[in-house]
Structure 1
Amino acid sequence: MPPTHLAGPHLALRDIDPGDTDALLAVYGDPEATRHLSFEPRTPEQVQTIVDRSVASAEDTPRTEYCLAVTRLGDPRLIGCARLATEPQRAAAIGFALHPAEWGRGLGTETVRLLCALGFEELGLHRIWAARAPLNEASARTLLRAGMTEEGRIRDHVFVRGVWRDSITYSILEHEWTKP
């Protein structure tokens, strides 16, 4: 498979590589960055496993998972991680996490738009969906600004930090997608 690389006005998405481990740990190991995610902060060993799995999945045919480094345009350093996992029926689930130092700049919206471009323009998907924690209002604004529609609540969807947590779901369909 050719390497994945997408570029927007401020960001680029590229395949995760082994050199991203420390930068990914700075995101996935950070309690603030993972506060609303479906997992607790990751250990260095867990992040290494994620990187190894991501590098391996980039070689799969057909490819069903895209774990991508979020970088500033022109700067290869990872500032976040974006994921698209295909599902049957020409659909995919997406998710992303940015380092807290990057929050509040519209980069989440651009990340979601780039994931949608990958899904609709390159993979020919019909539907893309995402889920957020109910208390993550910033993510709600991000997903709506990216063109997604709120669909509803999945009750007791994930077990994290010792409790069950609901998820609020969003989606966008291929006919709703407009190129950036």
Structure 2
Amino acid sequence: MRPVELSSDRLTLRELRPTDVDDLLRVYGDPEAVRHLSFTPRTKEQCTAIIKAAVADAEQENRGVYMLAVAHQDRLVGSARLGVDERPHSAQIGFALRPDMWGQGFGDELVGLLLRFGFEDLGLKRIWGARSPENRASERVMLRAGMVEEGRIRRHLWTRDAWRDSIVHSILDDEWAPDSPGRPL
């Protein structure tokens, strides 16, 4: 096992720790923070289970899921996930930040770190993400990172007692620009 830890100017992606549960609850337990995600607000017990699963995944020899803490000034302020697809050259990303972190460029840094991790550390050829059609902030973040909108998956998710479409964005390793947010200087 090789622990994940990489940083940008203001953020660090690192492994989740049992001591992160209260900070993760401030993200996943906040209705505004999860409004566009595929789940409703989580309880403290559910956040504890998420961290336990992430710790177990981190111990796997052929790790396929990277559920990571997004830390600012040494405190968890969000979460990041990179899941390697069945074809190991590709992976899906997901991310969430506390609402008080929105609109300050942290999303750009976070996605930049995920792309850097996927392309440089894991040697991926393609990284993709799916978002709610209403999540314009996530759309802007992915487009600024160089991700291309591929299209809409209709009735992709059953969430909040209704079907929801998803908009897919992707980027290829040779499209990732050297000056992307999160890329080392």
Fold match (TM-score > 0.5):
yes
Secondary structure at the aligned position of 2:113 is classed as helix
Instruction: State how far apart, in whole Å, the 1-side matches of 2:57 and 2:164 are.
Output: 29
Count matched residues.
178
Asked if 1:97 is matched to 2:96, the reply is yes
The alpha carbon displacement at 1:178 in A equals 2.2
Alignment match, 1:83: 81
Asked if 1:167 is matched to 2:159, the reply is no
Instruction: State how far apart, in whole Å, the 1-side matches of 2:152 and 2:21 are.
Output: 33
Instruction: State how far apart, in whole Å, the 2-side matches of 1:35 and 1:88 are.
Output: 28
The alpha carbon displacement at 1:9 in A equals 1.5
The alpha carbon displacement at 1:93 in A equals 0.3
Instruction: State how far apart, in whole Å, the 1-side matches of 2:168 and 2:105 are.
Output: 20
The alpha carbon displacement at 1:88 in A equals 2.7
Alignment match, 1:70: 70
Structure 1: segments with no counterpart, 5+ residues: none
- Post-superposition Cα deviations, 1:115-172, rounded to whole Å, max 9, x if no partner, equal 0011000000010000110011111001101110000000011111100000000000
Alignment match, 1:118: 117
Would the aligned equivalents of 1:65 and 1:86 in 2 still touch at CA under 8 Å?
yes
Alignment match, 1:25: 25
- Post-superposition Cα deviations, 1:61-109, rounded to whole Å, max 9, x if no partner, equal 111111111112xx22100000000013310000000000100011111
RMSD over aligned CA atoms reads: 0.8
Instruction: State how far apart, in whole Å, the 1-side matches of 2:2 and 2:173 are.
Output: 24
Alignment match, 1:51: 51
The structure 1 segments of at least 4 consecutive aligned residues displaced by more than 3 Å after TM superposition are none
Q: What amino acid is the match of 1:46? A: Q
Q: What amino acid is the match of 1:83? A: R
Alignment match, 2:155: 156
Secondary structure at the aligned position of 1:120 is classed as helix
Would the aligned equivalents of 1:94 and 1:128 in 2 still touch at CA under 8 Å?
yes
Instruction: State how far apart, in whole Å, the 1-side matches of 2:55 and 2:20 are.
Output: 11
Would the aligned equivalents of 1:110 and 1:146 in 2 still touch at CA under 8 Å?
no
Alignment match, 2:132: 133
Q: Normalising by structure 1, report the TM-score.
A: 0.97
